[in-house]
Amino acid sequence: MRKRFEYLAGIDWAADSYQICVVDENGQVLREKQFEHSGDGIRQCIEWLLELTGGNGSSLAAGIEVPHGAMVESLIENSLAVFAINPKQMDRFRDRHTVAGAKDDALDAFVIADSLRTDQACFHRLQIDKPAILRLREWSRMDQDLQTESNRLANQLWEQLRRYYPQMLNLSRAADEPWLWDLLEIAPLPGDLPKLKLAKVKAILRAPRIRRLTAEQVLEQLRRSTQPFFSNVPGAFAGGYGVPQAHER
């Protein structure tokens, strides 16, 4: 059932700030303000909202696109109702007020607040999950962020190796394998190849259980030429470096 609220707040979450707009039941703008994306900023925002309601947090509902984070949890903990809206649905609501494509934080905050006033059924009311679920969700986001960063750094390494050390890419096309990084620590430049001893290469391959290459093949490829070695690697293709892909071990 749709619950009526005396105050409706729209929160537009930017990279380093929150833009807040509060309207009444008739859609009249009551307050607008920007707060820092920080602990102090969130505290000040909640105090500002509670001051408007006279301390009656249950009379205010806040809408936001991002359904998680410190702002959402702090609002709910202070007895403020929080509703999330899908970004695609938000785009449709924005079209009611403007067809301009430029990003406008103040406008978006107003659109969220006004849409929550008129179309509460399109929003999803949020609740704080159990601590274990919150931790699991944060770990999942952290894992995703780390994987994205790992891929970005591997792509940068691949580009540099392609320019000055292509022999390495004949061993690992995507430059994303830790054992390759161990080789690079010992011989970061082609001129350092004499530092790679057979016993050390065997140890490097043995730790992650790399079986598609022998230590002898690694040394032969690195010291022989810069021609692609893909045709000799199981599951690889011959002719050029192509698109980096995951390896079999």
Whether pTM > 0.75 for this model: the answer is no
Confidence at 132, pLDDT banded by 50, 70, 90: confident
| Mean of pLDDT over the chain | 85
Domain range holding 166? 133-232
- Asked if 169 and 214 sit in the same domain, the reply is yes
Q: What is the DSSP letter of 235?
A: T
According to the model, what pLDDT value does residue 247 have?
A: 44
Q: Find the range with the poorest average confidence among 66-80, 194-208, 222-236.
A: 222-236
The alpha carbon of residue 208 and the mean position of all alpha carbons in its chain are separated, in whole angstroms, by 29
Q: State the amino acid at position 99 in one-letter form.
A: V
According to the model, what pLDDT value does residue 232 have?
A: 45
- Asked if 177 and 217 sit in the same domain, the reply is yes
CA dist 70 and 72 (Å) reads: 6
Q: Is residue 238 part of a domain?
A: no
Q: Is residue 2 part of a domain?
A: no
Q: Is residue 66 part of a domain?
A: yes
Number of domains making up the chain: 2
Higher pLDDT, 232 or 126: 126
Confidence at 95, pLDDT banded by 50, 70, 90: confident
The CATH number that applies at residue 96 is 3.30.420.10
Higher pLDDT, 103 or 239: 103
- Asked if 214 and 106 sit in the same domain, the reply is no
Average pLDDT over residues 103-132: 88
Helix or strand holding residue 71 (H, E): helix 70-77
- Asked if 226 and 157 sit in the same domain, the reply is yes
User: Which tokens hold the place of 151?
Assistant: 């891929």
CA dist 167 and 173 (Å) reads: 10
Q: Is residue 241 part of a domain?
A: no
Confidence at 235, pLDDT banded by 50, 70, 90: very low
Residues 6+ apart with CB under 8 A from 45: 18, 20, 33, 35, 71
- Asked if 190 and 156 sit in the same domain, the reply is yes
3-state secondary structure of 126: coil
C-alpha separations of 129 from 4, 85, 87, 136 in Å = 24, 18, 22, 11
**Does residue 136 carry a pLDDT above 80?**
yes
CA dist 128 and 202 (Å) reads: 52
According to the model, what pLDDT value does residue 196 have?
A: 87
- Asked if 147 and 84 sit in the same domain, the reply is no
